[in-house]
Structure 1
Amino acid sequence: MGSPHPLRRALALLAVGATALAVGTGSTGSTGTTSAAADAAGAGAPAAHRGAAGVHVRPASAGHVNAAGRTAPLTTSQCVSELGIHCYSPLQYREAYNLNPLYQEGVTGKGRTIVLVDSFGSPTIQHDLEVFDQQWGLPNTQVEVVKWGDVPPFDPTNPDHTGWAGEATLDVEYAHAIAPDAHIILVETGVAETEGTTGLPEMMDAEQALIRSGRADVISQSFGATENTFPGFDKGDFRSLTDLRYAFKEAAAHDVTVLASSGDNGATDAKENGTDLYPYRVNSWPSSDPLVTSVGGTQLTLDDAGRRTAPDKVWHDAYGAGGGGVSGVFERPLYQSGVARVTGNHRGTPDISMSAAVDGGAWTYESYDPTRAGWHLTGGTSEAAPILSGVVALADQLAGHRLGQLNWRLYGLDLLPEKWSGLVDVTSGDNSWGGVTGYQATKGYDLASGLGTIDATRFVHALAGR
């Protein structure tokens, strides 16, 4: 089957660098690290699931230019002038999504835990987060690292390791930026393609164990594999995929919210080799799972202060497009009955969308590779998912409990006026990509932006019912 690849583009790392910044890989603060070996006892998937999804993991940045790190981030106007694209800071996202009133109310994610799952992780995650926080005046937090399985020593010359390290950095920095007082757990899985080890089962095992131990409120996943690449798909036998759903069933039973990026290849996605795209519309899992909230991509146009100068539109630029379409595996869930005219008889994605455009990329600080340490721009729906994970943590705090499966609430809110629901319709753009005609954003639900995007203050209060 295809690789569960990090959905991060520079297309994950834009060629924006000038002079490399020589920064060591040592941390200014220790990262809390937990071995998951003991936690795994009795918490893993049934033996039949083992090896059901042997994968070759590859980073999404393969084949793209990785820039030398900048010594400091640029403003949006500087990016437009010098690079020809927009770039944004976490403070601009806070303004754009109307998050600041929540912080003033004391809604910061305090008491809630966000779990982020990334193969290999990053050896400099704590240091990099501290530099990121200092730059933007954010409160620092201690990242808890859970090593799941045999995680190999980090090799900065291994593109698999650095690709996932960049993904881990993006996930941690932006989940934290949105929910500054939430506890962050970074799960590092030990996937090594040279050994033919499992990929998705290992990730699902880790998630299931953390859910069972009561340590997860929100899980954000910036990886996926095209449904068509699972063994048996072409014969209508979906067991190699559906046998992996045990973590999501566990999440539903424990009221844990699960998010997944919808993909960066518009209405198509990668074949088994992880590089070539299908010449027709496909969808990817876990985004397509009915127990998961699929997070698509939008393009924001902001000024230096984070104020919109144009309405959001579906992400579709020179670097990629937001994933979306109908599942080839799952029937339409009950919560999508009201949008059956759009989805037909199958599960439609995405459910909701957040910032993902590379022309509108997010600044991250990364030093896991000392040859290119510094500030980089990152885009993709793997930016959108951790941003939304922070928003859900805020809603959990305000509600005083986990909100659990989000989709039932989302499609219910869509029946309310925007001023009450906080849902903001996205009506322009499409997700065509790779020669495959995608879906057009329209009024109401569509397969390019889902239900649209959010005004976070209204949205969080609506989700929490307060």
Structure 2
Amino acid sequence: MRELRPKGRRRSLRRLVAVVFPALALAAAGMATAPSAGAQPATAQPHTSKVAQNAKALTDPQRQIFHSTGKAGQKVPTQRLCATAKPGYAACFAQRRTDIRQQLASALAAAAPTGLSPANLHSAYNLPTTGGSGLTVAIVDAYNDPNAESDLATYRSQFGLSACTKANGCFKQVSQTGSTTSLPTNDSDWGGEEMLDIDMVSAVCPNCSIDLVEANSASDSDLGTAENEAVALGAKFVSNSWGGPEDSSQTSEDTQYFKHPGVAITVSSGDDAYGAEYPATSQYVTAVGGTALTSSSNSRGWTESVWKTSSSEGTGSGCSAYDPKPSWQTDTGCSKRMEADVSAVADPATGVAVYDTYAGGWTLYGGTSASSPIIASVYALAGVPGASDYPSKYP
């Protein structure tokens, strides 16, 4: 039985989601128009100096300026940070632009890195500039980035956001067992993925705390252990920007690693166009696809479309071969789980600004690796899920 909540709370979360989610590209089939009544709204946050500073940074007209990086669907040179996953392992989905350094050099002269900024994302998706205080978004990735905290500091400082450090309790970096001192082996490729992920949480929910949970390897078992650790640490929102081919054995991993009622778990749908990937096909997660996002003179100020570069590059989507269809999904196109559920910007041609020491500093990233932490942070802005709910059904 679903836990009952006062009617006022139900209406409050409906208003929050009504503001946030329609601006995002929802999957057409099987989407509800309102969240579950079991969801809890975010508590009204006092306008502390941190909240006020972040709100000012997100609404400053000078920070709203958008530096175009390409046209929707345009083929641009990128480096995929992770190789194709072998059975039993996952690959990260981050794509780094390799043609952007010269553009960055001129942009830095104007103190504005090329690519979508926090203010751009808030404008495009009509996101509330307050909220998230006291809530934690966890990022699950493989291996260690020793520069994560310092690179995050550079990103937030550049865009006028409040500091988020270990010292002030905003940022935590732990192993899959929760250790803060015995971290996995350093890895520059997954390090770039980690910077994309934590920068996107900062961009969308700058008042949220961030837990970076690093698996010992990219194996399904290590990443699954890290997933459970993220929830054990108390995060109600967990983002995963990785995945791999489906396998019949993964339905057992659903229960082992992703069945966490009361926690909004988001998973990137992949960058190889049509074709389902796991764990995005898990019935317990929100599968996040990708769009191309460009500025426009229309009333919204932005134009958004499905990200598709070619028949083999674009947002992942499709029908699961093994995972059962969730009760809230009513499409007739897939006999089992359909993904994606909701989408946000991922096209490298219209990508996001990221600071990554491994890449030499400011660069531009794309891939559904960007859209998963964006959506996890949107969930955080909307409030804590109901204790027995699987928030994938909210949109």
Change in CA separation of 1:176 and 1:245 when aligned onto 2, cut-off 3 Å: same
Pick aligned residue for 2:223 from 203, 206, 217 = 203
Which of 350, 358, 362 is the aligned partner of 2:340?
A: 350
Residue 320 of structure 1 and its aligned partner are, at CA, apart by: 2.9
Residue in structure 2 matched with residue 380 of structure 1 by the alignment: 367
User: Partner amino acid for 2:263?
Assistant: V
**Does the CA contact (< 8 Å) of 2:185 and 2:216 recur in 1?**
no
| Preserved CA contact (<8 Å) 2:113 2:353 | no
TM-fit CA distance, 1:183? 1.1
The yes-or-no answer on 1:366 pairing with 2:356 is: yes
The offset of 1:2, in angstroms, is: 5.9
Per-residue Cα deviation, 1:107-160 (whole angstroms, up to 9, x for no partner): 2x1111111011113111111111111111111212200112674442xxxxxx
2:305 is paired with a residue whose SS is strand
Which residue in the other structure is 1:329 paired with? 322
8 Å Cα contact 1:326/1:348 also seen in 2: yes
Kindly report which structure 2 residues correspond to 1:1-400, keeping only aligned pairs within 5 A, or say none: 1=87, 3-9=89-95, 12-18=96-102, 70=105, 73=108, 87-99=115-127, 102-103=128-129, 106-107=130-131, 109-142=132-165, 143-148=171-176, 151-154=183-186, 161-191=187-217, 199-211=219-231, 213=232, 215-227=234-246, 230=247, 238-239=248-249, 241-252=250-261, 255-267=262-274, 282-302=275-295, 311-317=303-309, 320-337=313-330, 339-340=331-332, 342-343=333-334, 345-367=335-357, 369=358, 372-396=359-383
How much does 1:203 deviate?
A: 1.3
In the alignment, the residues of structure 2 paired with residue 136 and residue 13 of structure 1 have an alpha-carbon distance, to the nearest angstrom, of 21
Residues 321 and 377 (structure 1), Cα distance of their counterparts in 2 relative to 1, 3 Å cut: same
Distance verdict in 2 for CA 1:250–1:283, change over 3 Å: closer
Post-superposition offset of 1:336: 0.9
CA distance in 2, matches of 1:78, 1:124: 19
Amino acid aligned to 2:205: A
Aligned-partner SS, 1:335? coil
Identity across aligned pairs (percent)? 27
By how many angstroms is 1:311 displaced? 3.1
Query: Residue 6 of structure 2 aligns with which residue?
Result: none
Contact 1:317 1:358 in 2 (8 A): no
Verify the 8 A CA contact 2:184 2:215 in the aligned structure 1. no
The CA distance in 1 between the partners of 2:203 and 2:387, in whole Å, is 20
1:3, CA displacement in angstroms?
Answer: 3.6
Is the Cα–Cα contact under 8 Å of residues 261 and 287 in structure 1 kept in the other structure? yes
Deviation at 1:349, TM superposition (A): 0.5
Cα 1:133–1:403, aligned 2, differ >3 Å: closer, same or farther? farther
- C-alpha contact (below 8 Å) 1:298/1:313 kept by paired residues: yes
Superposed CA deviations along residues 288-317 of structure 1, whole A, max 9, x for unmatched, are 1111100000111116x9985553110013
Which amino acid letter does the alignment assign opposite residue 346 of structure 1? Answer: K
The DSSP-based 3-state class of the residue aligned with 2:223 is: helix
1:224 touches 1:263 (CA, 8 Å); kept in 2? yes
Alpha-carbon offset, residue 323 of structure 1: 0.4
Q: Say if 2:239 and 2:266, in contact at 8 Å, map to a contact too.
A: yes
Distance 1:153 1:375, change over 3 A: same
Q: TM-score, normalised by structure 2?
A: 0.69
In structure 1, give the amino acid aligned to 2:308: H
Equivalent AA in structure 1 for residue 237 of structure 2: V
Assess, with a 3 A threshold, how the Cα gap between structure 1 residues 111 and 93 changes in structure 2: closer, same or farther. Answer: same
1:209 Cα offset (Å):
3.1
Note the residue ranges of structure 2 that are not aligned, 5 or more in a row.
1-86, 166-170
Count of residue pairs the alignment pairs up: 298
The residue that corresponds to 1:457 in the other structure is none
Contact 2:353 2:365 in 1 (8 A): yes
1:132 and 1:365 in contact (8 A); partners too: yes
CA distance in 2, matches of 1:16, 1:307: 30
Instruction: Give, as a single letter, the amino acid of the residue that structure 2 aligns with 1:313.
Output: S
| Contact 1:14-1:378 within 8 A present in 2 as well | no
Cα shift at 1:247: 4.5
Change (3 A) 1:185 1:214: closer
Q: Distance in 2 between matches of 1:316 and 1:139?
A: 35
- Cα RMSD after superposing both structures: 2.8
Q: Is the 8 A contact 2:230 2:238 kept in 1?
A: no
Q: Which amino acid aligns with 2:142?
A: S
Task: Tell me which residue corresponds to 2:61.
Answer: none
